[in-house]
Structure 1
Amino acid sequence: MTEQETFRIRLKVRHYELDSLGHVNHAVYHSYGEVARLELFEQAGGGPGRTHDERLAPVMLESHISFRRELRSGEEIDVTCRAKFGDGKTFRMDSGIYKADGTLSAEITCTLGLMDLDRRKLVTDPRGWFERSGVDMKLLCGE
């Protein structure tokens, strides 16, 4: 799937998200990524209603961000997101934050797991659970 077909959401940079240098505070980039992840899960059918009914929840285990270009107040941005599954209990979700002109502003890579809220342990096969639950894997993974 091409980058143009990857899930994306448009956001606007707000003045209260700026730091003393006049550009977006570093922690806010993580919030932008979180908005995209949650919206993607919801649109793919794996949002809080479905997972919480099963007493499961995606949990963040690690997050890494690379800053490329600054963002300033009033700019509109596109935040992309897609999941990548392998073997094991964890999966990745990658996001790109793009200025309106297509310039990459930041890249975020997160490692997540699907936690059983009663056992407080990660589910062994998160991809399998999403598939069996009817989550739109094509949307979630950009396949």
Structure 2
Amino acid sequence: MTAREPFRVEIKVRHYELDTLGHLNHAVYHSYGEVARTEAFEQAGGAALREQNLAPVLLESHIVFRREIRAGETVLVGCEAKFGTGKTFQMINNIHKADGTLSAEITCTLGLMDLERRKLVEDPRGHCERAGLDMSVLTAE
């Protein structure tokens, strides 16, 4: 049995996203990761979570820069969730250039927030599954 590919979105780098060195500004990498995470949840059926007054919330983000990205390049931003026990889970974003070169790795810690109580809920994977999310979009298991 082979693992399937993680969810990916394609993004074209715009000139205004560059820093003074002519490569992608560090904060934009995080924005690209957020685009992939948001789109992955939407494609998986995230509206069902909102109907239950739940939403993913970012708690921590760590990035490792590998290769620069320049204006006009197209990147593929992967997104894969890793669930364990407790209230939090991880989402991994790998940003690749069109030629396959790994440009950045982003590891985020998230939780599912009860939007009324403003608290994280236990067992985020279980909540996603019970809401009917397509877990194959979020995980490569």
TM-score interval, normalised by the smaller of the two chains? over 0.9
Q: Distance in 2 between matches of 1:6 and 1:52?
A: 23
Q: How many residues align?
A: 139
- Stretches of structure 2 that go unaligned for 5 or more consecutive residues are none
Residue aligned with 1:65, SS: strand
So what's the TM-score if we normalise by structure 1?
Answer: 0.94
Aligned-pair Cα RMSD in Å = 0.9
Residue aligned with 2:86, SS: coil
Contact 2:86 2:122 in 1 (8 A): yes
So what's the TM-score if we normalise by structure 2?
Answer: 0.96
Q: What's the CA shift for 1:127?
A: 0.4
Q: What's the CA shift for 1:50?
A: 2.2
Identity of aligned residues (%): 70
- Which one-letter code corresponds to 1:81 in the other structure? C
Aligned counterparts, 1:25-104, within 5 A: 25-46=25-46, 49-104=47-102
Partner of 2:128: 130
Partner of 1:24: 24
Q: Distance in 2 between matches of 1:6 and 1:93?
A: 11
Q: Distance in 2 between matches of 1:128 and 1:6?
A: 20
